[in-house]
Structure 1
């Protein structure tokens, strides 16, 4: 059992911390006195008496069974408990939590956690206020650890149920089964020639500019990549995901610029890496649902700037036929601009069920968009091609609006993406939409995850999706080129890319 705890200790500690957020304010109710960990697969329940214990030694002294186990294990229990309960929490935990109290992102995280951890003696509340108060008290009293936090949370006992954790793991597996089956039945596209895959290593010029927009108080920071050789007069905008930055996708932009495209990589200030740092510093709350509207407005404002001659002055750019590429939330942005209509209908009916069979980690973000979902339909008719890599989309979009898309969409999903799993967020939404007949495609990346399909600026390897992105845009924007999507030859040997559209 000690060995089992050693492997699970980080997960237990994180689960306990996250799940405490589901407590509600209850005045002078006594603090939690007992921590219970249920391991049904091993038919073992561990119960720890917490009252009065401030250190690992005091905790073991208060629990005779632990004393015997610790002696038998030559101090192993002491070391594990020190790691689990008395190891210091990150210094910023309290300020981050205080900024997040009552935020929809936090509320959704707590809803999921409430199924894993139960607190006896208190009704559930997803605001996070009690945890924030208890954590501040623990820091103030010199006990900035999980044990100190538990000693200040009202309630009788807290139970961590690993059966629920097993259910979550099984659900994630089920949410990837269809995609893996489709890949197995399909044929991977032939790998791109080395000359194409590595073409982004040179042939472009990089600059950074700032551009003021009417819908934000701060200007947008934009990375601009322009071709050193002949320009094809086409513009591509690449939108980053939540708490990310343009440099994470500069590899795609470099390959596109080397092949004639002008590329904008805007920094979305309300949900970028800098905003995450502000959150961790306690200076900002998580992104608001308004960002769902602001992000596509960022892109449209850039297109307006090019059209007005404020941006790319003196360059001949065909602003009536633009491509947008996005990853994660940036992919959602690309779909909005491409013409998919947003709705709050599914968000209202499905966000409150932690046992929904399609629920996945991306729903934490999607459900936080509820208050802004009905204002997110922001199609830009100038966007004629869209590439959406790992987009959170199941709850946000109205599937019936698919036929009205003005952009031809290439949706890409990794079969090992546990953040935005393929089945509920890609395969199922496209199954009933006749994507092939409407000119859209679904490509599954075999072995692709949420974090290995992007293309950081400092990455030595060629971008996995780069040739495919180029081929799709070439074809949809009618750019003369030997590389088109229908022509093939845009695949990858490390992560096989399979067009499964015809199998849906």
Structure 2
């Protein structure tokens, strides 16, 4: 009936590989599971592993006879990863888990998992997964995947291999294409370095080091009565004799204005006024409200509109203060403004740069949301709940934009991103699993038609590499999610943002030579090598995929 390899069906070999290196990391990211046995079902065929065998291995490192039969299908590294995953404590409590799992996004994730992880009657595991998670989270010290297994309200966990293999195939295709695209970008960046090195005559400084300007910080409170929206903003003011260019920083979902304080201080040390607003409907306080049961969702769809409007209102307020407040008088150049944002803030930056919400693209993409591996679409597709209108989110005062790990593929799509006319830099992490590099940054980069565009690729960077941990963080981000050397990733952001904004906001053309693969090569370090390209076409990507 099925082709065999080493007397084991091909599907069973794939099943064990999926379970050891595919499904378990997924279930750790969105914790799930429990019972006496885990069964792998493929049509009328079935194989199973006792939960007790996994527990014995996790607790002692010993592989019993039940698990030994499958050990030859995974290597030692994967087995060690399995053990770590089973015993890693999940840093959430019962209330936090309950609140999230009853939100629309939480339920969407449960629906997706429920098609793969089922009860012994092959019914959706939606309710069983939720129950197991909530029950396990009651014991916070032992809230691990292994503990969740013991709370699963059924005698067996059934893994639907048809669904699993489809997910695995899609995942493998995405991984392969991403690897090919990343290899092509790295190759192109190195080729430019080789060419440029023969022409280089003046040594370049390390702009990741602190600049020469002193600065002070002021916190102001803004109150937009038209939207009933009140929020604070930190303003970093360099000590200077002339009005200085302004850079606005927009934080990501669940972060706050302290998450990029390191970048604000760095830019201020180079003479930029830096304004960092707090977006009240999508900051750390919103997540706290969600986990406390005060809010019923991760964020409101209206945040997609309010975030850019926050920055437009902030610039209006700075204009007013420059005329009426001695602290700001003569210190702000509102004709030279740039914006930088990360993740949801990356969306915010590109909306201000001129990209419009693309309801046609959302209409095409969002019905298939349950089949996607792109978690960021859960956020982007909130826009389908907005009235289909022409929202005025761009701002002509913005002269250049940097988007770090932006979420843009569906909410903007090619049609909207191609309308941006100002200089843009996209910063991407090749190991981003929240906003996948290929679909959210690399392909969207090919859609940009603006004359001055840059793609900076942090090899090995994750969605959280460039974010400094906030003292107000509700949930600490696990080290394995942040990835290696976050300090190096943040240094790259500092070293690239200075010449980009000096060139395109402050109009200092002498910094243009820093926006080159040659400069990037001088600051690139292991374990996160950095590449930079200025052009990439969809045809080149398709060729790279081959």
Determine which of 244, 250, 259 is the counterpart of 2:270.
259
Q: Could you state the TM-score of these two structures normalised by the residue count of structure 1? A: 0.74
Determine which of 514, 524, 529 is the counterpart of 1:493.
524
Q: Could you state the TM-score of these two structures normalised by the residue count of structure 2? A: 0.69
Instruction: Tell me the alpha carbon deviations over residues 43-77 of structure 1, each in whole angstroms, 9 at most, x when there is no partner.
Output: 98325599xxxxx89xxxxxxxx9975999xxxxx
Instruction: Tell me the alpha carbon deviations over residues 414-454 of structure 1, each in whole angstroms, 9 at most, x when there is no partner.
Output: 2332322222122322334434xx33333333443323345
User: How far apart are the structure 1 equivalents of 2:378 and 2:40?
Assistant: 26
> 1:329 Cα deviation (Å)?
0.9
CA RMSD across the alignment: 4.6
Instruction: Tell me the alpha carbon deviations over residues 370-411 of structure 1, each in whole angstroms, 9 at most, x when there is no partner.
Output: 313845651122212111111111011042234532532222
> 1:280 Cα deviation (Å)?
3.2
Instruction: Tell me the alpha carbon deviations over residues 273-300 of structure 1, each in whole angstroms, 9 at most, x when there is no partner.
Output: 2322333334333112111111111111
Instruction: Tell me the alpha carbon deviations over residues 306-348 of structure 1, each in whole angstroms, 9 at most, x when there is no partner.
Output: 1222776413423243211011110100011111011233333
**Alpha carbons 1:209, 1:222 under 8 Å: kept:** yes
Alignment of 1:76-475 (within 5 A): 92-98=93-99, 100-103=101-104, 105-119=105-119, 121=121, 146-147=148-149, 149-151=151-153, 158-159=158-159, 161=161, 163=165, 166-167=168-169, 169-176=171-178, 177-187=180-190, 193-194=204-205, 196-200=207-211, 203-214=214-225, 219-285=230-296, 286-309=298-321, 313-353=328-368, 359-372=373-386, 374=388, 378-435=393-450, 438-454=451-467, 463-475=491-503
User: How far apart are the structure 2 equivalents of 1:251 and 1:136?
Assistant: 37
Q: Which moved more, 1:229-238 or 1:112-121?
A: 112-121
User: How far apart are the structure 2 equivalents of 1:226 and 1:241?
Assistant: 23
Q: 1:223 to 1:121 in 2, by over 3 A?
A: same
More helix as a share of residues: 2
> 1:209 Cα deviation (Å)?
2.9
**Alpha carbons 1:241, 1:328 under 8 Å: kept:** yes
Equivalenced residue count is 461
**Alpha carbons 1:239, 1:333 under 8 Å: kept:** yes
> 1:485 Cα deviation (Å)?
5.9
User: How far apart are the structure 2 equivalents of 1:369 and 1:277?
Assistant: 23
User: How far apart are the structure 2 equivalents of 1:412 and 1:87?
Assistant: 31
User: How far apart are the structure 2 equivalents of 1:148 and 1:215?
Assistant: 52
User: How far apart are the structure 2 equivalents of 1:81 and 1:387?
Assistant: 38
Secondary structure, counterpart of 1:498 in structure 2? strand
> 1:219 Cα deviation (Å)?
2.7
Secondary structure, counterpart of 1:265 in structure 2? strand
Structure of higher RCO (CA pairs closer than 8 Å, 6+ residues apart):
1
Instruction: Tell me the alpha carbon deviations over residues 453-488 of structure 1, each in whole angstroms, 9 at most, x when there is no partner.
Output: 456799876721223212222222243363236764
Secondary structure, counterpart of 1:299 in structure 2? helix
